[in-house]
């Protein structure tokens, strides 16, 4: 029971914000219209139940006038029963796409807010495959075909209202047609209601006992499917390196193993579903004749007419279907519950990543009026708390050219991440000038799949910079042939060599002209003459900018005026002033 209430609370937490958003009034009106139509359909079913009695009594009495009237009445009800579901489906789908649009934007914004996506990975990414959570799980939460909050919610509403409406009818019929059994009349108040209730309880209990493992099995299935897709994407993205290393057999083994988990879990779902389908199919077939078994003795005893028996069967079927709602949707409900658990896990991962950025101890990136970056009692740690780098009293002034060096694994790149505010693990602070424009350029720059101009201008919006200016900078960094393809859209990270990507990254830096430019081995894939030419270009065009470079080549010293070195200090490294020795 606690699990049910917990699931309902999670559903409310995920669903409720939309109906308090900027789209709330349209959402509420659409939901109200869909609910109103659902209630109208239940009302029509009640009228059809009464029609059953009158129509079949007319047949039994061979009353032509009543028969014709009832046919006309049925046509009116049938027309309404056709039109209402059509418009309900249309409004339902309209609500679904608006709701999904808002919820998708909401989750994307939470995921990509202030480096939160990166911190989620640092914490181990408990919300595996966030792409699936946002694209697939949100869709299934709102509309999963036979599942989804709207489908299940409307089905539950229909069952509750139907139950309330037809229990009254069935209770009344129990009084007019008492139970006839073994030649005796048993006046049991509402016996038809109790029979339907006992039948539904038996079916629901058996369904739950057989079907409850489907919740965890469906959760695992989504996890394995997402992992398999992710592994396929990784092979596609790294196809060149795999081909160069001859790694195809290894990749085949890994992909076969990944899909084997998909298939094995699916077989477990198949076995469990087979048992559940045996039960539900048998239950549904028995439901067809069960009301006649209960009501037929009264009919054969002459206590009710044929119309009364048909009305009893119809009302009994409506009550039994309402009580058996969970039996009919159990498999879909199990799939939907696994979707809820995945979205809940994503929410918890987002919240944990947000909390780690502000919960002490954490690295504080604080604005200052001083035109310099200052490390104050900074102690950078790994996510598990192991000390990595310390820096105290280090100041980098505006316009300085600083070279940062140290052994591999000493934490140079991590120090840059802490400065950028995306690495919270540690203590102390980094003071950064207010409104300073800072750019980090890593060894492998990122380019979105977009026209080349937009890819270079990233993260600026497309069109913010003049294409001619971008083309001139692409030529300046040594890629004149690419400059002619400024409007071409492509997957640039895949098409270009790492050296070409690094040149484009420097074109991006020249375009944005930041106050502080941090180069994390951003020219490591270039030969020394090309690297020297690009640094000279930076000196010419970004003369007023601070440039901080991580690099191992001695030739870099010629382009910097100061050196900061990582020196081992016990179990961690300490950032200190170092000696700058230009290459001979």
| Mean pLDDT rounded to a whole number for the chain | 85
Residue, of 198 and 40, whose pLDDT is higher? 40
Cα separations in angstroms, 98 against 139, 192, 335: 12, 44, 23
Question: Locate tokens 């026209």: which residue?
Answer: 451
- Return the CATH architecture of domain 2-112+129-357: Up-down Bundle (1.20)
Give the pLDDT confidence of 411-447 residue by residue, as tens digits.
899 999 889 888 889 999 999 999 899 999 999 999 9
Confidence of residue 125 (pLDDT cuts 50, 70, 90): low
Residues of the chain with CATH 1.20.1560.10: 2-112+129-357
**Cβ burial, residue 338 (10 Å; 0-12/13-18/19+):** buried
Cα separations in angstroms, 5 against 1, 503, 577: 6, 56, 59
CATH fold, domain 364-578, is Rossmann fold (3.40.50)
* DSSP letter for each residue of 385-423: S-EEEEE-SEEEETT-EEEEE--TTSSHHHHHHHHHT--
Give the pLDDT confidence of 49-89 residue by residue, as tens digits.
788 778 888 888 888 888 889 889 889 988 998 899 999 98
Cα separations in angstroms, 579 against 281, 398, 551, 564: 81, 20, 15, 8
> Average pLDDT for residues 272-301, to the nearest whole number?
76
Q: What pLDDT is attached to residue 584? A: 53
Residue, of 577 and 114, whose pLDDT is higher? 577
Give the pLDDT confidence of 452-499 residue by residue, as tens digits.
999 999 999 888 999 999 999 999 999 999 999 999 999 898 889 999
Return the biggest CA–CA distance within the chain: 117
Pair of tokens at residue 17:
């914000």
pLDDT reading at 37 higher than 80 = yes
Cα separations in angstroms, 269 against 139, 216, 537: 22, 10, 62
Confidence of residue 178 (pLDDT cuts 50, 70, 90): low
Pair of tokens at residue 161:
């209202």
Q: What pLDDT is attached to residue 474? A: 96
Which residues, 6+ apart, have CB-to-CB distance to 525 below 8 Å?
443, 497, 498, 499, 502
Confidence of residue 561 (pLDDT cuts 50, 70, 90): very high
**Percent of the chain beyond pLDDT 70?**
92
Residue, of 128 and 122, whose pLDDT is higher? 122
Confidence of residue 513 (pLDDT cuts 50, 70, 90): very high
Q: What pLDDT is attached to residue 396? A: 94
CB-facing half-sphere around the CA of 521: CA atoms within 13 A: 13
Pair of tokens at residue 143:
């509309």
Pair of tokens at residue 438:
């800072």
Euclidean distance between CA atoms 358 and 354, whole angstroms: 7
> Average pLDDT for residues 353-381, to the nearest whole number?
89
Peptide bond into 459 cis (omega under 30): yes
Give the pLDDT confidence of 232-261 residue by residue, as tens digits.
888 887 776 788 778 888 889 889 989 999
Local structure of residue 424 (DSSP, 8 states): -
**Percent of the chain beyond pLDDT 90?**
37
Residues of the chain with CATH 3.40.50.300: 364-578
Give the pLDDT confidence of 292-307 residue by residue, as tens digits.
777 777 677 666 677 7
pTM for the full predicted model: 0.74
């Amino acid at each position: 029971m606690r699990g049910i209430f917990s699931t309902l609370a999670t559903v409310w937490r995920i669903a409720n914000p939309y109906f308090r958003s900027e789209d709330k009034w349209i959402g509420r009106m659409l939901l109200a219209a869909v609910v109103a139509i659902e209630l109208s359909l239940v009302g029509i079913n009640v009228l059809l139940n009464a029609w059953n009695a009158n129509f079949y009594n007319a047949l039994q009495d061979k009353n032509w006038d009543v028969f014709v009237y009832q046919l006309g009445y049925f046509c009116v009800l049938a027309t309404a029963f056709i039109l209402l579901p059509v418009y309900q489906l249309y409004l339902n789908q309209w609500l679904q796409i608006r709701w999904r649009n808002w919820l998708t934007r909401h989750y994307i914004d939470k995921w990509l807010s202030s480096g939160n996506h990166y911190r989620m990975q640092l914490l181990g990414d408990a919300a595996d495959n966030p792409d699936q959570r946002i694209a697939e799980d949100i869709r299934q939460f709102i509309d999963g075909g036979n599942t989804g909050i709207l489908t299940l919610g409307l089905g539950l509403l229909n069952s509750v209202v139907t139950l309330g409406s037809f229990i009254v009818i069935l209770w009344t019929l129990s009084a007019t047609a008492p139970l006839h059994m073994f030649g005796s009349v048993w006046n049991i108040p509402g016996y038809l209601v109790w029979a339907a209730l006992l039948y539904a309880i038996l079916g629901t209990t058996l369904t739950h006992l057989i079907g409850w493992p489907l919740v965890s099995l469906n959760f695992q299935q989504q996890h394995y499917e997402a992992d398999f897709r992710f592994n396929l994407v990784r092979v596609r993205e790294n196809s060149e390196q795999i081909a160069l290393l001859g790694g195809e057999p290894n990749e085949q083994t890994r992909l076969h193993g990944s899909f084997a988990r998909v298939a094995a879990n699916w077989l477990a779902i198949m076995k469990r579903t087979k048992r559940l389908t045996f039960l539900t199919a048998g239950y549904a077939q028995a439901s067809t004749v069960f009301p006649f078994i209960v009501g037929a003795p009264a009919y054969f005893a002459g206590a009710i007419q044929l119309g009364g028996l048909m009305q009893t069967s119809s009302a009994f079927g409506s009550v039994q279907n309402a009580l058996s709602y969970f039996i009919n949707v159990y498999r879909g409900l199990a799939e939907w519950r696994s979707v809820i658990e995945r979205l809940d896990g994503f929410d918890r991962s987002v919240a944990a990543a947000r909390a780690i950025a502000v919960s002490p101890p954490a690295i504080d990136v604080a604005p200052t009026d001083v035109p310099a970056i200052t490390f104050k009692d900074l102690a950078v740690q790994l996510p598990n708390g192991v000390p990595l780098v310390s820096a105290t009293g280090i100041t980098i002034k505006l316009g300085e050219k600083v070279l940062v060096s140290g052994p591999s694994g000493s934490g140079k790149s991590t120090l840059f991440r802490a400065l950028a505010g995306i690495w919270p693990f540690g203590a102390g602070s980094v003071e950064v000038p207010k409104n300073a424009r800072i750019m980090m350029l890593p060894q492998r720059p990122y380019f979105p799949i977009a026209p080349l101009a937009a890819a270079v201008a990233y993260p600026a919006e497309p069109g913010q910079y003049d294409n001619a200016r971008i083309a001139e900078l692409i030529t300046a960094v040594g890629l004149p042939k690419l400059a002619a393809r400024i409007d071409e859209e492509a997957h640039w990270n895949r098409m270009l060599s790492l050296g070409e990507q690094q040149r484009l990254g420097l074109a991006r830096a020249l375009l944005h002209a930041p106050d502080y430019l941090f180069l994390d081995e951003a020219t490591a894939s270039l030969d020394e003459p090309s690297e020297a030419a690009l640094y000279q270009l930076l000196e010419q065009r970004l003369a007023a900018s601070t440039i901080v470079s991580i690099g191992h080549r001695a030739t870099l010293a010629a382009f910097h005026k100061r050196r900061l070195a990582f020196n081992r200090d016990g179990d961690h490294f300490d950032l200190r002033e170092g000696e700058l020795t230009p290459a001979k």
